[in-house]
Structure 1
Amino acid sequence: MTTPLTLRSQAETLAAHLPPLLAEAEHLAATVLLGEHGRRRAGTGDTFWQYRPAQNHDAARNIDWRRSARSDARFVQDKEWQIAQSVVFWVDQGAAMGFHSGDHPTKGARARILAMALAVLLIRGGERVGLTGLRLPPRRGSAQLQQMAQILSEQATTDHAAPALTGMLAHSRALFVSDFLGDLDGLRAALTRAADRGVKGALLQVLDPQEEAFPFDGRTIFQSMTGSVSHETLRARDLKSRYLDRLAARKDALAQLARVTGWQFHTHHTGQSATQALLWLYGALERRR
């Protein structure tokens, strides 16, 4: 039987991840000076947007006579389009995302912060956010952000994870964040499913600078984060050109996969500004609304 003391201890342990993650996400979101997210279009709503000259098809009841009295033309009020959209996230929680070099954050930490900061911006703009799968369907509100932070603080037991095929609403938008260095079959299946449902979105590849530079020489042991894969070489420099060629081929494959499914693709390094990556993400989803 669980005692109140044990329950409180478990709750405090579970909540320990949330304040730092949400606080950092809020701070990052605050560095991006944006208005309401991409909803400023004429359509159904109660909020005034703009005046426009009346046209032949406009009924007399729609004329704003007070505004029209100030000029020789007749004007109509346009209301702002206010249909909330849904954005679903997938952030790779595989052990490989725990890699980092030097003082750089882990790939997983940067991926989580970017996803959460974007979710903050979207919810501020009236959108609904959620996660792929069935654990967190898209909703609004601060409670949704807290649940999202809690789930994203978990970690898979395998080196690489794959997006869930469920939870992507038709004609919604999506963001997948990973290093995308594992098997791409799961990603292909998810993007194919998304394309079939009219879901558009963005792929953000997060890499450590060391994974781009391959600064290894001499005897080196390469090992996956779980220790399930290991390779030892006495001349690591001899592997550099082949490694860089394969990395370039992987990026080309991801870019091609994004193109054929109507998504955006971008590579971000943990040594770069998180704000720049957040701006790219915001713009990528904005272009696909």
Structure 2
Amino acid sequence: MASIGQIVEQTPGRDALARARQRAILVPDCMVEARRIANTVIAGWHGRRKRGIGENFWQFRPFTEGESLSRIDWRRSARDDHVYVRDREWEAAHTVWLWADMSPSMMYKSTLADVSKESRALVLMLALAEILARSGERIGCPGIMEPVSARNAAERLATALIHAPLTTGMPDTVMIRGLSDVVLIGDFLDDADTIMEKIAPLGRRGLRGHVVEIADPAEEDFPYSGRTEFIDPETGQKLVSGRAESIREEYRTAYLARRDALGEALRRQGWSFVPHRTDQLASQALVAVHMYLSGMAPGSERGSSR
């Protein structure tokens, strides 16, 4: 996503081949980290479970007249004076589309963080895929992977990401139909109106959405002082400040106002908004998004922001 007015410290611009190679190297490590984090936050099934046709055992219940005798579980019935039927579970799985921004601005990592925004976004996306796949949900990625319902959906998504072409900006969502969930992960540094112009049509189509804003701590705290050169990683535009500390408060006010405006616009649309810093535990954002997907809003939508 375009980074209007982003403050960065790194060298801008890499060709598409170099970016593709970097992502291919990054994804396997992110998959390992994603599985580790997913294992720490899984708490029961996300899928809606009820009696019906399926492969997994659900419950025993008394046999009622008129049912097929083939459904009787004779071993369980032999334990007492009642005849029992072995019900199986029906999983009302739906589709969750996951997307992470891979624009150049996501490569940023200041000295205040251990990982880049890109790395954190990939970890969160793959960890969500791991949790949702274990819950029996169908997982897809717009323009990269058609929805699949499989225990190894996260691994399949990681493989698809390695071989996917590089794209910038919001994903193509014409293939998303029905009552699906959409999880968008990125830095979302454009102004709120520009972002909502792209997101609002999804809401009008009845899609339930969740936005995770990834921020480097330096982007939020602006720890710079003295003569500092800032470079936009997507345009190469430079800004030199003789006394960077003199604009700290004005910058922070504008940065947080942009975030508040985006969060409010998303909530009016009925979407959730989770701000997350790369110097915090990935599990914090993962738990928040999973709760929203499960229909249980966390205590505070800004809990992961300082």
Q: Percent identity?
A: 33
Pair 272,157 (structure 1): closer, same or farther in 2 beyond 3 Å: same
Structure with the larger RCO, 1 or 2 (CA within 8 Å, 6+ apart): 2
* Shift in Å, 1:113: 0.3
Counterpart of 1:106 (choices 112, 116, 119) is 116
Tell me what 2:254 maps to. Answer: 246
Q: Secondary structure at the match of 1:244?
A: helix
Pair 209,70 (structure 1): closer, same or farther in 2 beyond 3 Å: farther
- State whether residues 39 and 80 of structure 1, in contact with CA within 8 Å, keep that contact through their aligned partners in structure 2: no
* Shift in Å, 1:274: 1.0
Instruction: For 2:60 and 2:194, locate their aligned partners in 1 and report how far apart those are by CA, in whole Å.
Output: 49
What amino acid sits opposite 2:134 in the alignment?
R
Pair 76,260 (structure 1): closer, same or farther in 2 beyond 3 Å: farther
Tell me what 1:282 maps to. Answer: 290
What amino acid sits opposite 1:270 in the alignment?
T
User: TM-score, normalised to structure 2's length?
Assistant: 0.74
* Shift in Å, 1:285: 0.9
Instruction: For 1:157 and 1:76, locate their aligned partners in 2 and report how far apart those are by CA, in whole Å.
Output: 53
Deviations 1:92-150 (A, max 9, x none): 111001111124200110010011011011111111111123x3121123664344224
- State whether residues 163 and 190 of structure 1, in contact with CA within 8 Å, keep that contact through their aligned partners in structure 2: no
Q: Secondary structure at the match of 1:20?
A: helix
Tell me what 1:130 maps to. Answer: 140
- State whether residues 191 and 258 of structure 2, in contact with CA within 8 Å, keep that contact through their aligned partners in structure 1: no
Instruction: For 1:43 and 1:132, locate their aligned partners in 2 and report how far apart those are by CA, in whole Å.
Output: 32
- State whether residues 179 and 205 of structure 1, in contact with CA within 8 Å, keep that contact through their aligned partners in structure 2: yes
Pair 253,243 (structure 1): closer, same or farther in 2 beyond 3 Å: same
What amino acid sits opposite 1:21 in the alignment?
C
Tell me what 2:17 maps to. Answer: none
Pair 60,22 (structure 1): closer, same or farther in 2 beyond 3 Å: same
Q: How does 1:1-289 map to 2 (within 5 A)?
A: 16-40=25-49, 42-46=50-54, 47=56, 49=58, 61=66, 80-102=89-111, 103-133=113-143, 135-141=144-150, 144-153=153-162, 156=166, 161-184=169-192, 187-226=195-234, 228-287=236-295
Pair 32,213 (structure 1): closer, same or farther in 2 beyond 3 Å: same
Unpaired stretches in structure 1, ≥5 consecutive residues: 1-11
- State whether residues 47 and 136 of structure 2, in contact with CA within 8 Å, keep that contact through their aligned partners in structure 1: no
Instruction: For 2:280 and 2:197, locate their aligned partners in 1 and report how far apart those are by CA, in whole Å.
Output: 30
Tell me what 1:9 maps to. Answer: none
* Shift in Å, 1:241: 1.6
Pair 157,82 (structure 1): closer, same or farther in 2 beyond 3 Å: closer
* Aligned CA-pair RMSD: 3.4
Q: Secondary structure at the match of 2:263?
A: helix
Pair 23,112 (structure 1): closer, same or farther in 2 beyond 3 Å: same
* Shift in Å, 1:186: 5.9
Pair 95,50 (structure 1): closer, same or farther in 2 beyond 3 Å: same
Pair 78,264 (structure 1): closer, same or farther in 2 beyond 3 Å: farther
Unpaired stretches in structure 2, ≥5 consecutive residues: 1-20, 297-306
Instruction: For 2:207 and 2:24, locate their aligned partners in 1 and report how far apart those are by CA, in whole Å.
Output: 32
Aligned residues, how many?
A: 266
Instruction: For 1:151 and 1:236, locate their aligned partners in 2 and report how far apart those are by CA, in whole Å.
Output: 42
